[in-house]
């Protein structure tokens, strides 16, 4: 009964995939949004005494960010970004007069005369930042970064700009210093207001986030190679220029705020699409978190539900490279897409985006020179396994569940994919990729020309939840089975 245990565990465990929905904590009993990891000894041994000092000071900074984050989180959907008595209608109305209400940084408060007022974040959190000695620690870390043979003046400049931003609110100057460095710093700090997940009320306000870790130089170089290849495929395929994306595989020591609350395995910074275009962006994989999620969930689903003959001679290390790359490719898709293309799809928007990015990741993977065909096939199999993991978590992450179920749903309907004795299998890999390319083409044309109704029809046709019954009972999906749109699945 390993399967049942796995299902049970899967529902409890974190999902290795992107942007989870925050768990609701009981009122007044938030768990600290702070996660500690171990940095491998070999990585620590490469640091000189000044770098060790930088790491220690920044670890203190990150630890203190947790209490800034606590000033933003609340047990209801609102977060502490808006006055408790403000309605959405009032905020929307007032935002037309005062656009700062909608901008990601300022906090909205009720003035004495009853009107809404905005306070810049560096002022609102200023006293707490000062009390915690955060600016002071950042400046100390900057001084240490300028010492010794391994001194890093660009990183030093970045830390000083970060300290300045906390006092003057010029966040962009700090981002520019971070993203324009000509190398990845050995010890790195991510710190600022990012991601709207905590503002479940209006999805506008960023919350405090921070991480500190030591570079994994080999894996970073490999991942940057893959990223550059993937982006150049994307440019050719889409006829557009892609913004620069820097990748960092980080032996994370500590993270706090949003990434800790959301149990991120990875995230892209900064969050404003216009800034990403102008300054480029950095995709950080928090290696210990990624590994944990891969080893405990993704690999299990992969081994349980994929035809074993497809993975003969495939080691876990090979699968984990492939998982890392698939994950990276999917996330790159998000940093390349534009919000405007999706607006008319309303509630269907989010799964459509996920589907688009996942198909782009799988199809693009196949085209990359220097990557074996076997590897891209394993990436495809990993994507099927992601579908199962979303099934195990439903209905919490409905959009991912939909997107990742539509891929096998489509391929089964096309007669390309089969379920035999509870495992996905396929005959001819090239034919399978042709079907995936065709599916991607259909999705792309929905995004460019489709109406909301077309997208809903697509969903009805391919969102086939019955496949999980066959996976879980270890049975075979009959080739003559007519899929009835919207049929419920047994629990
Ligand atoms: Zn995604």
Compute the distance from residue 292 Cα to the ligand 1 centre, in Å.
19
Compute the 3-state secondary structure of the chain and give helix, strand, coil in percent, each to the nearest 5.
55, 10, 30
Compute the distance from residue 48 Cα to the ligand 1 centre, in Å.
38
Which own/partner pairs from 45-52 qualify as long-range (CB within 8 Å, at least 24 positions apart)?
46/186, 46/214, 47/186, 47/187, 47/214, 48/148, 48/149, 48/150, 49/148, 50/144, 50/145, 50/147, 50/148, 50/150, 50/151, 51/144, 51/145, 51/148, 51/150, 51/186, 51/187
> What pLDDT is stored for residue 482 in this prediction?
64
Compute the distance from residue 252 Cα to the ligand 1 centre, in Å.
22
Compute the distance from residue 355 Cα to the ligand 1 centre, in Å.
8
Cβ 233 vs Cβ 368: under 8 Å: yes
Compute the distance from residue 139 Cα to the ligand 1 centre, in Å.
36
Q: Which residues surround ligand 1, an ion (CB under 5 A)?
A: 18, 354
Compute the distance from residue 237 Cα to the ligand 1 centre, in Å.
20
Q: Where are the domains of the chain?
A: 33-291, 306-491
> What pLDDT is stored for residue 41 in this prediction?
97
Give the CA angle between residues 212, 216, 218 to the nearest 5°. Answer: 160
Cβ 215 vs Cβ 186: under 8 Å: yes
- pTM (predicted TM-score): 0.84
> What pLDDT is stored for residue 206 in this prediction?
96
Cβ 425 vs Cβ 310: under 8 Å: yes
> What pLDDT is stored for residue 79 in this prediction?
76
Query: Tens of pLDDT along 344-363?
Result: 998 888 899 999 999 999 99
**193 pairs with which residues across the strands?**
208
Compute the distance from residue 452 Cα to the ligand 1 centre, in Å.
20
Compute the distance from residue 195 Cα to the ligand 1 centre, in Å.
14
> What pLDDT is stored for residue 409 in this prediction?
96
Pick the CATH number of 33-291 from 3.90.1170.50, 1.10.620.20, 3.30.540.30, 3.30.420.40: 3.30.540.30
Compute the distance from residue 433 Cα to the ligand 1 centre, in Å.
21
Nearest to 395 by CA among 489, 332, 313: 489
Compute the distance from residue 435 Cα to the ligand 1 centre, in Å.
21
Compute the distance from residue 403 Cα to the ligand 1 centre, in Å.
10
Residues of the chain with confidence (pLDDT) below 70: 1-30, 396, 480-491
Give the CA angle between residues 127, 131, 135 to the nearest 5°. Answer: 90
């Amino acid at each position: 009964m390993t399967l049942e245990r796995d299902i049970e565990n899967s529902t409890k465990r974190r999902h290795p995939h992107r942007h989870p929905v925050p768990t609701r904590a009981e009122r007044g009993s938030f768990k600290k949004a702070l996660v500690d990891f171990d940095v491998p000894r070999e990585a620590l041994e490469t640091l000189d005494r000044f770098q060790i000092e930088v790491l220690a000071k920044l670890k203190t900074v990150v630890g203190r960010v947790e209490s800034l984050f606590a000033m933003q989180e609340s047990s209801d959907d609102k977060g502490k970004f808006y006055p408790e008595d403000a309605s959405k209608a009032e905020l929307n109305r007032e935002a037309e007069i005062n656009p700062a209400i909608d901008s990601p940084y300022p906090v909205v408060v009720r003035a004495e005369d009853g009107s809404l007022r905005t306070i810049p974040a560096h002022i609102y959190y200023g006293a707490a930042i000062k009390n915690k000695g955060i600016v002071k620690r950042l400046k100390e870390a900057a001084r240490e970064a300028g010492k010794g043979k391994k001194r890093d003046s660009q990183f030093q400049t970045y830390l000083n700009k970060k300290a300045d931003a906390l006092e003057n609110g010029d966040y962009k100057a700090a981002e520019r210093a971070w993203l324009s460095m000509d190398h990845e710093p050995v010890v790195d700090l991510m710190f600022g207001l990012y991601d709207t997940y905590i503002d479940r009320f209006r999805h506008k306000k960023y919350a405090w986030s921070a991480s500190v870790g030591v570079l994994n130089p080999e894996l970073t170089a490999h991942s940057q190679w893959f990223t550059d290849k993937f982006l150049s495929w994307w440019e050719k395929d889409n006829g557009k220029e892609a913004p620069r994306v820097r990748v960092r595989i980080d032996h994370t020591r500590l993270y706090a705020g949003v990434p800790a609350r959301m149990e991120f395995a990875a995230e892209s910074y900064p969050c404003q699409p216009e800034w990403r275009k102008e300054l480029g962006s950095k995709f950080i994989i928090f290696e210990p978190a990624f590994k944990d999620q891969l080893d405990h969930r993704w690999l299990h689903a992969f081994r349980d539900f994929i035809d074993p003959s497809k993975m003969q001679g495939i080691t876990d290390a090979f699968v984990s490279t492939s998982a890392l790359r698939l994950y990276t490719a999917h996330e790159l898709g998000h940093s390349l897409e534009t919000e405007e293309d999706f607006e008319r799809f309303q509630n269907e928007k989010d799964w459509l985006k996920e589907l688009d990015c996942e198909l782009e990741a799988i199809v693009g993977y196949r085209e990359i020179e220097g990557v074996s065909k076997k590897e891209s096939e394993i990436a495809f199999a990993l994507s099927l396994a992601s579908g199962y993991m979303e099934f195990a978590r439903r209905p919490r992450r409905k959009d991912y569940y939909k997107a990742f179920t539509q891929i096998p749903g489509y391929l089964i309907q096309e007669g390309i994919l089969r379920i035999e004795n509870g495992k996905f299998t396929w005959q001819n890999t090239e034919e399978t990729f042709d079907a995936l390319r065709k599916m991607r083409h259909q999705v792309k044309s929905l995004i460019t020309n489709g109406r909301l109704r077309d997208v809903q029809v697509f969903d009805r046709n391919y969102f086939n939840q019955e496949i999980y019954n066959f996976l879980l009972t270890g049975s075979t999906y009959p080739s003559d089975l007519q899929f009835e749109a919207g049929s419920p699945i047994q629990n």
